[in-house]
Structure 1
Amino acid sequence: MRRAHAGEQSVYEEENQKMEEELRHKVTALKAISINIGEEVRGQNKMLKDMDDDMSKVGGFLGSTMNKLKQISRGGYGKMYLYLALFTFAVFFVMYFLIRLS
């Protein structure tokens, strides 16, 4: 009776070792996946920071351009706006005919 019990214990021990090995492989795979996720998050955060910096620069350029336009509009440059509008209209008119001919 004691030997039968020892045989059962050996089977359980082998089964436990097998399950332990499977668990070890799963933990290793999970560790590799979590490391890859961490690297991807760091890369995405760097990209977002770079985009934020670029947008800040664009915002600064746009702000300075708007300030210059405000200065021009206060200066009484009405004729210049008319010429600019006519020039823009002429460019679009020429582009329309060039596209239409091709």
Structure 2
Amino acid sequence: MVRPLRVEYEGAVYHILSRGNQGEQIFSDDGGDKEYFIEILQRAVQKYGIEVYAYCIMGNHYHLLIINAGGRTHKGDALYRVELRELSAEIPWIDGPCLCR
């Protein structure tokens, strides 16, 4: 059975968390992957009209506080696109879906 969509409010702050399966590392220790993730996130901000209030990027997970300021998209859809279409497709060391929400 499919869960109903969460009610979202324009201008509300949302906490987004994504981590590697079974604690798997999704960012390398050299920092380059984290910087690249921030670049991808910046593109999502411009494309989907979200604002990033704060973020924390660890080796095996990240946290985002976002505001759906533009109201143009469901916040989960925007971040899901960042993860699966951009991050997984563009970072070669991610072999298949290793992110979970």
TM-score by length of 1: 0.25
Say which one has the larger Rg: 1
Q: Which has the higher helix share?
A: 1
Q: Which has the higher strand share?
A: 2
